[in-house]
Amino acid sequence: MSRKTLPGLTAAIKEKLIQQGLERRLRQTNAPPAAVRRVSEAGAAEVPEQFTRFDLHPGYQQLRIMTDGAARLGISSPFFKNHEGIAGGRTRIGGREFLNFSSYNYLGLSGHPVVSGAAKAAIDRYGTSVSASRAVSGERPLHRELERAIAGAYGVDDAVVFVSGHATNVTTIGYLFGSRDLILHDELIHNSTLQGIQLAGARRLPFPHNDWAALDAMLSQQRREFERVLIVVEGIYSMDGDFPDLPQLVEIKRRHKVFLMVDEAHSFGVMGATGLGIREHFALSGGDVDIWMGTLSKTLAGCGGYIAGSTALVEHLKFLAPGFLYSVGMPPPVAASSLAALQLMREEPTRVATLQARGSQFLELARKAGIDTGTSAGISVIPAIVGSSLRAARLSQALFERGINAQPILYPAVPEKLARLRFFMCCEHSKTDIQDAVSAVAAELERN
């Protein structure tokens, strides 16, 4: 289908027809596959070609449908933009400076001279890789220094760092729980948790977003049927920018005698008066939560993930969890940069206060302008929900042309009717930056 085959129709009707066609084709690619024909004794001659070629894989076919449809509408790909320097409140793409809302550099610590200097010093002393699993030959002093600092921030016994944030959830959940266990999670939980549950083979039950009463009712019905039970929530949900009522969850987990895990990928360094996360926000003790998880790639200016909690939890993971035991240790410059970033965060709480002020300003202005921000709390992540993937992609492109970099979140990452642009705040944004961005979004939504 192309615009040339739709004479006499308005641009809006043409776009709607193309969108409907794309959605229909996407549903077809997601339909259950036909039964595989029985392979004869003669060999694999009867195996359908679609099961032997990656270009016929349903996932790739879906990708082609989306990219081809966008091309027909004159929408360029918003993905894999090449940033030519440090991406903070501003960035440089294609030789042009942009106001940047697409990076997790919440506190502006990635690229900070102290953080970069720590990484350079670590390279000079330890090299760029530890060249082994930490359990056998890869341990370096920086690893334990970082882990002790993280444990101190949470007020718990110990912590362990992993080389991947996604793998942190996968290997922790996948190793600690099994087929006789139950894992309940918020329906908007991150993919890494879902992958960990699948690896564990545990029973999985999602509960409505931030609905602790529904969770409580589910546990009342199900708890006695399983051995270990885990609740998993996020500190701040990366698509919506809201957060759970953690004190209620702590009370529920104690009453039902289950474990509670909080993924603080987007809340540590962001929530609380000094950035110590959702625990500080609610004035809770570190021991109120059984498993604290977080990533080093946001406020801590590095890459990887961590688990913080009791000595038994951490030692167990360090000696037996496959994703840690059989993986190379964290590179020295990454450990050093995250350690330096954590120290700076604690020394300079004004960064956290400024970030929170910019988020609050963005949310207030956006709501006044009639922009749908969903349930965002206006701290670090604020969506602009526009109702269709095509509209979100068009809005992102229009803002890019105006010098504002904000990424769209499209189906199937979110339901089609909830397609959006996602704005990440940074303490380096000025009040004027926020005003300009919200005004541009409102103007482009009015035009489209």
Residue 37 is predicted with a pLDDT of 45
Mean pLDDT (the chain) is: 91
Average confidence (pLDDT) over 368-388: 96
422 pLDDT exceeds 60?
yes
Residue 365 has pLDDT above 90, yes or no: yes
Compare 272 and 29 and report the one with higher pLDDT.
Answer: 272
Whole-number pLDDT of residue 227: 98
pLDDT at 41: 52
Residue 33 or 313, more confident: 313
Report how far Cα 199 is from the mean position of its chain's Cα atoms. Answer: 20
pTM of this structure: 0.89
Fill in the amino acid letter for 227: E
Q: In angstroms, how far apart are the furthest CA atoms of the chain?
A: 72
What are the tens digits of pLDDT across the range 280-302?
999 999 999 999 999 999 999 99
> What domains appear along the chain, each with residue ranges and CATH number?
3-72 (no CATH), 90-104+349-447 (3.90.1150.10), 113-347 (3.40.640.10)
Q: Residue 3: is its pLDDT beyond 60?
A: no
Specify the range with the lowest mean pLDDT, choosing from 60-74, 154-168, 291-305: 60-74
pLDDT of residue 17: 60
DSSP helix/strand/coil, 204: strand
Nearest CA to 355 out of 154, 104, 156 is that of: 104
pLDDT bucket at 2, cuts 50 / 70 / 90: very low
Q: For 138, which DSSP code?
A: I
| Buried residues in 307-326 as b, exposed as e (16+ CB within 10 A) | bbbeeebbebbbeebebbbe
* pLDDT(69) > 90: no
CB half-sphere exposure, 283, CA atoms < 13 A: 0
DSSP single-letter state for residue 37:
P
Give tens-digit pLDDT for 86-134: 999 999 999 999 999 999 999 999 999 999 999 999 999 999 999 999 9
For 14-36, the pLDDT digits (tens) are: 556 666 666 666 566 555 555 44
Q: Is residue 46 helix, strand or coil?
A: coil
Distances from the Cα of 166 to the Cα of 44, 86, 191, 306, angstroms: 37, 23, 8, 10
Q: Give the residue carrying structure tokens 């189906």.
A: 411
Sign of CA dihedral 212, 217, 220, 221: negative
Q: Does residue 107 contact residue 299 with C-beta atoms inside 8 Å?
A: yes
- pLDDT score at 68: 79
Q: Amino acid identity, residue 171?
A: T
Q: Which residues contact 27 (CB under 8 A, 6 or more apart)?
A: none
Residue 65 φ/ψ region, left for φ over 0, alpha for ψ in the -120 to 50 degree band, beta for the rest: alpha
DSSP 357-391: HHHHHHHHHHHHTT---TT--SSSEEEEE-SSHHH
Give the three-state DSSP class for 141: helix
Nearest to 409 by CA among 78, 60, 105: 78
d(CA 47, CA 372): 49
Confidence of residue 52 (pLDDT cuts 50, 70, 90): confident
Question: In this predicted model, what pLDDT tens digit does every residue of 333-351 receive, in sequence order?
Answer: 999 999 999 999 999 999 9
pLDDT of residue 39 exceeding 60: no
